[in-house]
Amino acid sequence: MAQVIASLNAELAALRAFDIAALAEATDIKERGIALLASGQDNPLTPDERALAEQAMRLNEQARVYVNLMSANVRQRLEALTGTMPVAYAPRAAA
Q: Which of 31, 24, 26, 21 is nearest to 9 (CA)?
A: 26
What is the pLDDT averaged over residues 53-82?
Answer: 91
Q: What is the pTM of this model?
A: 0.74
pLDDT in tens, 17-45: 989 999 999 999 999 999 988 887 777 88
Distance CA 88, CA 95 (A): 20
- Between 12 and 43, whose confidence is greater? 12
What is the pLDDT averaged over residues 69-78?
Answer: 88
Q: Angle of helix 47-82 relative to helix 2-17, nearest 10 degrees?
A: 20
